[in-house]
Structure 1
Amino acid sequence: MSDGLNDARAIRVAEIMTDFRNLQHYLVQLRATPTAEEYYLEGYSLLRECMSEAQAILQTPFSGGAGAATGDPETEKRQLRAIIADSAVRRFQCQRAYLRAHAGLRWLNSRNSILRGQKPNASHLGALQQADATLRNECLAITDTYVDNTLRAADAAQGKWLNEDPLLAQIQQILASRR
């Protein structure tokens, strides 16, 4: 028998997909134009990687199973749960890419601040190495647990219904099965 929560599930799908769309919009706006000498620097490579991840997420087929609406509340419940799981995984992936891209942009801004339009030279070496180290440390801090916590904290602060959102372990399991 239906539990009467399908409307809440449908609203949750819309919330997750809105977050996903916003993250995707941010990621496709990334524009970094390195010179040939800068192309393989960590920050620029990271930004390209994040943009590629965003594209790959969009190209991943829906994994929740397909089916037309039958009017049966139990079938709709299963479909909505599958959509919540799939969209939550995609949002998680986008949030991770977003956080990493944001670290890359901080690196880029730091680098630009250090160089002030000049070509890198020996006087910049220490500061540029520090910027690289900061980027690496920021990326190490962007763990799956951290990503999950940022999403759950934002959702909870907005009073969203989270009862059927997949746990981090479930998200990781779904991602592992897609590899």
Structure 2
Amino acid sequence: MDGLNEYRRARVAQVLYDFRNLQYYIANAPSTPPNDDDYHTRGWAALRQCAIDGQHILDCAADVTVPQSNGDEEEQAKAELKQVLLDAFARRHEGQKIYLRQAAAQQWVELREQVLQGQRPTSAHQRQLRACDDHLRHELAQITDERVYEELRNNDINLGAWTAEDPSLRAVQRWVRARPQIS
């Protein structure tokens, strides 16, 4: 018995709280443009995909297969808490990626509105709208697993969180690959 299960419980609760907050923001982001003509534009398509991905991360079942410990109840609790932490940690990681993609797409909406100034797109706007699309593409490309993992880790450390047993990026990626349809 290592006496760390209270830290593990607190860490699981913290990560689940973070994930819950991310889900709130994801669920409340717009996904339908005010003008139906804009439905298939790059930014609105990204916002819709984020809404779908956000719902999927909620809907995918938790992995409840926990190895049986050869120790006492405390050791079994440790194994279970580590499994729950991996699940919560990976969901938070994916939620953060979705949230960042939404933020980039919402910035695209704002930039596009600045270009159009209430007008419908014309050939006169084409160059600036293409620049908006290029900017979105660039921003989305910057949202990598490695970057998200490091940002979350640094934030946790700065907040004084107990991170001693946080799952590795590789473990998070394995968790994601085991759940089809998460981008």
Other-structure match for 2:22: 23
| Equivalenced residues, count | 175
Question: Does 2:60 match 1:60?
Answer: yes
For the residues of structure 1 that align with 2:112 and 2:16, how far apart are their CA atoms? 34
Other-structure match for 2:69: none
* Secondary structure in 2 matching 1:178: coil
Q: Per-residue deviation at 1:98?
A: 0.4
For the residues of structure 2 that align with 1:50 and 1:57, how far apart are their CA atoms? 10
Alignment check: 8 A CA contact 2:31 2:51 kept:
no
Query: Which is further off, 13-22 or 169-178?
Result: 169-178
Aligned-pair Cα RMSD in Å: 1.5
Alignment check: 8 A CA contact 1:64 1:86 kept:
no
* Secondary structure in 1 matching 2:37: coil
Query: What TM-score do you get using the length of structure 1 for normalisation?
Result: 0.93
Query: What TM-score do you get using the length of structure 2 for normalisation?
Result: 0.91
Other-structure match for 1:130: 131
Return the letter of the residue paired with 2:91. Answer: R
Alignment check: 8 A CA contact 2:60 2:179 kept:
no
For the residues of structure 2 that align with 1:56 and 1:172, how far apart are their CA atoms? 16
Matched ranges for 1:142-153 at <5 A = 142-153=143-154
Alignment check: 8 A CA contact 1:85 1:166 kept:
yes
The unaligned stretches of length 5 or more in structure 2 are 67-71
Instruction: Give the percent of matched residue pairs that are identical in Structure 1 and Structure 2.
Output: 36
Return the letter of the residue paired with 1:130. Answer: A
The ranges of structure 1 where at least 4 consecutive aligned residues each deviate by more than 2 angstroms after the TM superposition are none
The unaligned stretches of length 5 or more in structure 1 are none
